[in-house]
Amino acid sequence: MLAYLIRRLFNAVLTLLVVTAVTFGIFFLVPKATGTDPALLYIGKTSDAASVEGIRVKMGLNDPIVVQYGKFLKGLVAGRDYANGPDVQHCPAPCLGYSFKTDQEVTPLLLGDLPVTLSLALGAAVLWLIMGISTGVISALRRGTVLDRVVMGGALAGVSLPIYFTGLLASAIFVYWLGWLPQGEYVPFTESPGDWFVQLILPWITLAFLFAATYARLTRANMLEILGEDYVRTARAKGLRERAVIGKHALRSSLTPIVTVFGLDLGALLGGAILTEKVFNLRGLGYQALTAIQGNDLPIILGVTLIAASFIVIANLIVDLVYGLIDPRVRLA
Amino acid sequence: MSIGATNARPYLEVKDLNVRFETDDGIVQAVTDSTFSVEAGQTLGIVGESGSGKSVTSLAVLGLHRTRSNAKVSGEIWLDDQELVTATDEQVRLLRGGKMAMIFQDPLSAMHPYFTVGSQIVEAYRVHHPGVNKKVARERAIDMLARVGIPQPERRFNDYAHQFSGGMRQRAMIAMALVNDPKLLIADEPTTALDVTVQAQILDLIRDLQDEFGSAVIMITHDLGVVAELADDVLVMYGGKVIEKGPALEVFQNPQHPYTWGLLGSMPRLDREVRDRLNPVKGSPPSLINLPSGCAFHPRCPYAGRNGNRSFNEVPLLHGDVHKVACHLPPEARTEIFQQEVLPNL
Ligand SMILES: Nc1ncnc2c1ncn2[C@@H]1O[C@H](COP(=O)(O)OP(=O)(O)OP(=O)(O)O)[C@@H](O)[C@H]1O
Ligand code: SF4
Ligand SMILES: [Mg+2]
């Protein structure tokens, strides 16, 4: 198990390194390809040649790409100083540079967005796990019945309807038509847990609906497969109650593959749920990324990409570890 | 002979058992009018090629078709004077793993991969002993593991099925099946997945445990050698029907049905050249959706025309008192064919 753990950790770090290299490469190449000078993006097209050159020196834009990448890595790990003669600007670790548009440091900017995305993703995840797994199990046990068809029809709708449709529809119904939920903005949990909760209900449900649909289908398919396994028959042959056969023996195995999917989905969502954040006006990482893409603000795009990638890599790592815990065949291999 | 003994039913008595499955391709008639019984302390061997309905029969006895919505079971199954086909799900559940238990063919897939072998035995014990605490159940499980010959049972208790060798796994499976002292044990090809020496050990183990507990045993197998060695009675199945049955010795010394002859011919024998050893019955098993009319074996039977084509008529399990056979050939003709055409080639 320890060797397995170390191997996984090593892989994760390696993957992250590759991710930084690739994103940095793109970051370096995009301005080249579009013929724009990053220095100009920092200070605007009207600036004179001298101050543009000053920015180049300060940001290290004249260095070869490998040197720039090295400095970038150092900034991530230890922070870095941007200097042009006496003009020194310190960027603490993990340094992601400065926004082209506002000159703000990227790291604190994104950290400020993180709680919104975390709240959205984690809340929705709890909801979709409960909804998806329970409907999937029920559907599997009632296979072929009207209930099964209705649930799976709903799941199909859930998978195929886009967020901006379900999200707007949900808002229209619950906020404007029924008036059950207030119209408003995200409220930080630390400010008012109650308002935080109320404001997130709709985004949670909308996002969870999309994922629950996938999970319901997945759970149902797994469950049906597992119910045909010999060891489920053995469980019945021992005289176990059907409740134990399903709830213990069959569910245990049905959920194992879901752990993988769940980890990856959650990891991906933590990098920002662009559509949901946009539809519900939640200023999270996804929203930030969208704005940055529209404004060609490369440092922010790079920052969000790195954070998103890190979440996915970390999620992968956790999935591998959890998998080792729940499947003795992996753990003891 | 006491009055009780004459009136008593055999421990298991199955009458006119029919099992059919509704599938997209049509109705699969997996078992047709099967009638047999097993006394306490006796062993019934069931033989027949793949798909002949051996497993479906044993699953029916355990009531394991009940959870399949497409399965239909009819007839009578009497276990210790209780009728099981008409019993409630709960009544049958309480018997499963208690009075009747089953050992499956492939112990690796028959054990849950995520639970330790010990905990699965404990679970089997506690369903039928709800008052017993974990510690006592654990001791019982370890005791059973030791009984079936697993070394270091305390340590193996915490291992998973995939950490056991094939033979040890089958021993553990047997420990699990026997943990509640079942009076009927069904072993569905318990040794197919094992190599020859281990096979012999497992069969010895089952026999010893049977002697110890006096259970009735149904031994399902492809291997006629196993039946010859272990069984008191034997049942030969073909296409879901019983086509020959009787005391094992009788059936082996004086087999009556052409299909049984074929099976005997397919038995590996030490005194035969390796390349000649296996000599399976020619042709393929019948479709259970469209069973051949009359004697289901007629498309493959070399003697089908010998009796004025009566093979196409319905053939009940007829001739004989204890040794019964379903074949239209008159007994004299059968004896003659067996002596002159079959025996020399066996
Ligand atoms: N749930 C089911 N639905 C449809 N058909 C089934 C089902 N279970 C078994 N059958 C069919 O019933 C027939 C008898 O199967 P069974 O498993 O009893 O054969 P068997 O004699 O045990 O063969 P083997 O020696 O290969 O184990 C087979 O043709 C099988 O396809
Ligand atoms: S009834 Fe006819 S076909 Fe069937 S086994 Fe006897 S001889 Fe062969
Ligand atoms: Mg079978």
Domain extent for B130 = 107-181
Q: What is the ipTM of this complex?
A: 0.89
* Residue of B257, B261, B295 best suited for mutating to test ligand 2, as the one with most atoms within 8 Å of CB: B295
Burial of B274 (0-12, 13-18, 19+ CB in 10 A): exposed
Q: What is the pLDDT of residue B276?
A: 45
Convert the pLDDT of each residue in B260-291 to its tens digit: 998 888 766 555 444 444 456 788 889 999 98
Give me the mean pLDDT over the A223-246 stretch.
95
Top pLDDT among A285 and A55 is at A285
Question: What is the SS3 assignment for B218?
Answer: strand
Beta bridge pairs of residue B188: B220
Q: Is residue B302 part of a domain?
A: yes
Convert the pLDDT of each residue in B233-259 to its tens digit: 999 999 999 999 999 999 998 999 999
Write the DSSP symbol of residue B307. G
Q: Is residue B150 part of a domain?
A: yes
Q: What is the pLDDT of residue B245?
A: 94
Tokens of B225: 């050698």
User: What is the count of structural domains for chain B?
Assistant: 2
Identify which of A72-81, A148-157, B6-15, B236-245 has the greatest average pLDDT: B236-245
* Residue of B236, B282, B293, B301 best suited for mutating to test ligand 2, as the one with most atoms within 8 Å of CB: B301
Convert the pLDDT of each residue in B67-94 to its tens digit: 988 999 999 999 999 999 999 999 999 9
Q: Is residue B75 part of a domain?
A: no
User: According to CATH, where is 1.10.3720.10 located in chain A?
Assistant: 106-326
Nearest to A253 among B59, B67, B114 (CB): B114
Burial of B321 (0-12, 13-18, 19+ CB in 10 A): exposed
Average pLDDT, chain B: 88
Q: Is residue B134 part of a domain?
A: yes
Q: What is the pLDDT of residue B309?
A: 61
Write the DSSP symbol of residue A101. T
Q: The pTM is what?
A: 0.82
Question: What is the SS3 assignment for B11?
Answer: coil
Point out the domain boundary residue: B159, B181, B203.
Answer: B181
Listed residues: CB within 5 A of ion ligand 3: B 55
Q: What is the pLDDT of residue B319?
A: 63
Q: What is the pLDDT of residue A225?
A: 95
Average pLDDT, chain A: 87
Q: Is residue B38 part of a domain?
A: no
B284 lines ligand 1 (CB under 6 A): no
CB B161 within 8 A of CB B111: yes
Q: A239–B98: do the CB atoms touch at under 8 Å?
A: yes
CA distance A143 to A148: 6
User: Which CATH architecture does the domain made up of A106-326 adopt?
Assistant: Orthogonal Bundle (1.10)
CA distance B273 to B281: 18
